[in-house]
């Protein structure tokens, strides 16, 4: 009990540290550049507290439940040596963690609002919800697929730079066919997916797998999954945009 409280307090401090640079930079700009005061921002303080409290509980819960289970499963599956189950697990891990990613939920909602405002989709609540949901599902499937490819890469020792370079060449090619309003959202979705939830679990999978295989170096083989998980969503969302346009 005492240990849990200590862990909760540590998480709270870390969430505060996440928010602190933003508070400092914005305050400096308010006071010195706009020569105003920070009192105008006080109504937002309540929301700021919710951000810190929410992030604290979220990370605390992840450490208690998701991380140990995910890491344990990654290790047992890597030891078990069944390629099929390893790939199935990689997909589920990528898909599941991305669906629950807070930054993606927020940005998909914002993207739907902007699309509705620009009359790219009808501006009813259902149309916006289904657009945001479609976007999130697309990104989640993309991250799942990326982890499958990434695990195959570690197993068969494929060259990461060649995969990344040809991946981005493909992105540039598909961009030329995509409707212009999806391009920005697609390119952003690569960076959005890989934060609080995904990174620790994916890193555990990669490094765990590389260290349980003979002749693999955790440094050069373990990393790289996140790079693939940032690339695939761009490609998939561009294709999502092309598909939405056709309907």
Partner 1 sequence: MELIVTSLRFVADSAVDVLPVAVFLVAFQRLVIGGPMPNGRRIAVGFFFVVVGLGLFLVGLEQTLFPLGRLMAQQLTDPTFLLETAGREAAALVWQDYYWVYLFALAIGFSTTLAEPALIAVSMKANTESGGAIGVWGLRVAVAIGVGVGVSLGCFRIITGLPLAYFIAAGYLVVIAQTAMAPKLIVPLAYDSGGVTTSTVTVPLVTALGLGLAEAVPGRSPLLDGFGLVAFASLFPIISVLAYGQLAALRARVSPSDWDDLDE
Task: Please identify, using beta-carbon distances, which residue of 115 and 124 lies nearer to partner 1.
Answer: 115
Per-residue x/- marks for partner 1, 1-20, CB under 8 A? Answer: -------------x--xxxx
Identify whether the C-beta of residue 154 lies closer than 8 Å to the C-beta of residue 221.
Answer: yes
Query: Is there a contact between 153 and 160 (Cβ–Cβ < 8 Å)?
Result: yes
Q: CA-CA distance, 153 to 81, in Å (whole number)?
A: 15
Identified binder of partner 1 from the candidate list 31, 38, 50, 83, rule CB under 8 A: 50
- Which CB, 38 or 243, lies closer to partner 1? 38
Count of residues touching partner 1 (by CB under 8 A):
105
Q: Which residue among 29, 83, 124, 158 contacts partner 1 (CB under 8 A)?
A: 29
Residue 166 Cβ vs partner 1, minimum distance, rounded to whole Å: 11
Please list the alpha-helical segments (H only) found in the chain. 2-28, 45-61, 67-80, 83-99, 102-117, 125-156, 160-175, 180-193, 198-212, 225-246
Q: Is residue 195 a contact partner of residue 101, using CB atoms and an 8 Å limit?
A: yes
**Binds partner 1 (CB under 8 A): choice among 5, 39, 42, 47:** 47
Which of 126, 219, 246, 247 forms a contact with partner 1 (CB under 8 A)?
Answer: 219
Tokens of 52: 């810190």
* The one among 27, 130, 220, 245 contacting partner 1 by CB under 8 A: 220
| Binding test (CB under 8 A) with partner 1, winner from 106, 130, 177, 245 | 106
- Tell the residue number behind the tokens 């939920």, with chain if given: 105
- The least CB distance from residue 152 to partner 1, in Å, is 16
- Binding residues for partner 1 restricted to 150-179, rule: CB under 8 A: 160-161, 164-165, 168, 171-172, 175-176
Does position 96 bind partner 1 by CB under 8 A? yes
The correct pick among 54, 81, 130, 177 for binding partner 1 (CB under 8 A) is 54
Longest dimension (CA), the chain: 63
Q: What is the Cα–Cα distance from 145 to 92, expressed in whole angstroms?
A: 9
Min. distance of Cβ 246 from partner 1 in angstroms? 18
Query: Which residue among 1, 2, 5, 33 contacts partner 1 (CB under 8 A)?
Result: 33
Binding to partner 1, residues 192-211 (CB under 8 A): 192-196, 199-200, 203, 207
DSSP state of 43: G
Taking the C-alpha atoms of residue 92 and residue 221, their distance in angstroms, rounded to an integer, is 21
C-alpha to C-alpha distance for 154 and 223, rounded to whole angstroms: 10
Tell me the two tokens of residue 69. Answer: 């289970």
């Amino acid at each position: 009990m005492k240990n849990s409280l200590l862990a909760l307090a540590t998480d709270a401090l870390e969430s505060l540290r996440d928010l602190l640079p933003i508070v400092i930079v914005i305050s400096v700009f308010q006071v010195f550049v706009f020569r105003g005061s920070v009192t105008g921002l006080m109504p937002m303080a309540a929301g700021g507290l919710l951000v810190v409290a929410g992030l604290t509980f979220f990370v605390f819960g992840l450490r208690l439940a998701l991380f140990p289970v995910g890491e344990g499963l990654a290790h047992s599956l890597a030891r078990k040596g069944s390629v099929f189950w390893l790939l199935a697990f990689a997909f589920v891990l990528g898909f599941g963690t991305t669906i629950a990613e807070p930054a993606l939920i927020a940005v998909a909602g914002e993207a739907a609002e902007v699309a509705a405002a620009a009359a790219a989709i009808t501006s009813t609540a259902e149309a916006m919800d289904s657009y945001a949901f479609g976007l999130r599902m697309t990104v989640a499937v993309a991250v799942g697929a990326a982890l499958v490819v990434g695990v195959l890469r570690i197993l068969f020792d494929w060259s990461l730079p060649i995969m990344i370079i040809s991946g981005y060449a493909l992105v540039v090619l598909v961009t030329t066919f995509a409707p212009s309003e999806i391009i920005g959202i697609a390119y952003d979705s690569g960076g959005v997916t890989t934060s609080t939830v995904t990174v620790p679990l994916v890193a555990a999978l990669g490094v765990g797998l590389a260290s349980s295989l003979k002749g693999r170096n955790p440094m050069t083989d373990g990393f790289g999954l996140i790079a693939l998980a940032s690339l695939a969503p761009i490609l998939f969302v561009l294709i999502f945009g092309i598909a939405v346009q056709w309907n």
